[in-house]
Amino acid sequence: MKKIMGFKDKFAYSFFNFEAYREFIAQGLRKSILYIFLVTLILSAITNVKEINMIATEISVVQNNLSNNAPNFEFKNGVLSVDSDETIYYKHEGDFLFYLISSFIGNINTVNSLDSDAISIQDNLENGSSTFSIDDSMLSVSTDQSNYYTFIIDTKGITDKNILNSYKDAVLLDSNNIYLRKDYRTVGTINLSDFSSININNENSEYYLSIIKILTPIVFFVVNPINSFITNLILGFLIFGPFAVSIGSFIGVKLKYSRACTLSFYAMSLPLLLEALIHVAGIIMPEFFLIFSIITLIYCSLAIREIKNSDKSELNFMK
């Protein structure tokens, strides 16, 4: 198969036309890197549009609540103070705030697990949009709503971090620390004194949130695609490329390493597309990397077998 193939042709042929993989290899490693860059850029844009809209909506909700419902507060010199004599419980829908706090803590590591006989506490807030409330009783968010989080704010020392044991996903803010709990595990602590140079209150909080809203598209459309592209390069060069060489040796085709990497980049097309569609659909699949790898290696195997069968006089691709 010899023809000039544009990006659209390559993308389409990579799914079903294994004869085209011989032409992919002939075009060289550089074009395969350009191809995987374009695929990553396009699919990242598709998934990021949804993320940006969700984050913008979530930030707007927070801005509205801070403006209309939140008591006066100030974070200054590394100490948080809130004008409330009682503990505040804030039921928040959305993942961005929780992710933002998690990113400060770093990788999620298990510190403490909740005992199996933990107390189940009923949700005493009305269903609907996120609201601030002041109540003496505790709030628990139903576990079947994975994107609901409970923010507990207490700067008077009424509660301590043990209150998190009653929640699946929650954040506790006191005067000096932020405690994060995820999936019934206390996973980290932020010392507010580390941010003593920051000054936030009711008046300027909306400004800072607006800055985050502006920076979000930049991060998602620039930083995220670059990170994804680098990740795909690492997968191709360090994992799928070497595996393709091994598969070729087993089948009887001696693939040069660079050509095995070239082949693997095109073989990643379908898994990358599936990953984007799953993300847009909001489906969480922790084991998807295994599926991603299996599909890629199957495509590598089918492509190498097609190369072997199409021209037995040129089996040695080391030359």
Which sequence spans correspond to the domains of the chain? 7-50+216-317, 78-195
Q: What is the predicted pLDDT for the residue at 95?
A: 76
pLDDT of residue 311: 60
β-strand 73-76 against 79-82: which pairing, if any? antiparallel
pLDDT band at 145, cuts 50/70/90?
Answer: very low
Which stretches does DSSP call E strand in 32-138? 73-76, 79-82, 88-93, 112-113, 131-134
| pLDDT (0 to 100) of residue 190 | 87
Sign of the dihedral defined by the CA atoms of residues 31, 33, 39, 44, in that order: negative
pLDDT for the residue 117: 35
pTM of the model: 0.72
Q: What angle do CA 293, 296, 300 make, to 5 degrees?
A: 135
Q: In whole angstroms, what is the distance from residue 258 CA to residue 28 CA?
A: 8
Give which of 278, 282, 261 is closest to 270, Cα–Cα: 278
Residues with Cβ within 8 Å of residue 290, at least 6 apart in sequence = none
- Per-residue pLDDT tens digits for 285-309: 889 999 999 999 999 999 999 988 8
- pLDDT value for 54: 86
Can you tell me the distance from the alpha carbon of 149 to that of 168, in angstroms, rounded to the nearest whole number? 8
19-24 mean pLDDT: 94
Share of the chain above pLDDT 70, in %: 82
Q: Mean pLDDT across the stretch 194-216?
A: 91
Q: How confident is the model at residue 260 (pLDDT cuts 50, 70, 90)?
A: very high
Average pLDDT, the chain: 83
Tell me what percent of the chain is helix, strand and coil, each rounded to the nearest 5: 55, 15, 30
How would you list the strands of the sheet with 185-191, edge to edge?
112-113, 185-191, 177-182, 170-173, 148-153, 88-93, 131-134
Band of pLDDT at residue 132, cut at 50, 70 and 90: very low
Q: In this structure, is the dihedral angle defined by the CA atoms of residues 119, 125, 127 and 130, taken in order, positive or negative?
A: negative
The CA distance from 173 to 178, in Å, is 5
What's the confidence (pLDDT) of residue 131? 45
Return left, alpha or beta for 223; rule: phi > 0 is left, psi -120 to 50 is alpha, else beta. alpha
Q: Is the model more confident about 239 or about 62?
A: 239
CA distance 184 to 165: 7
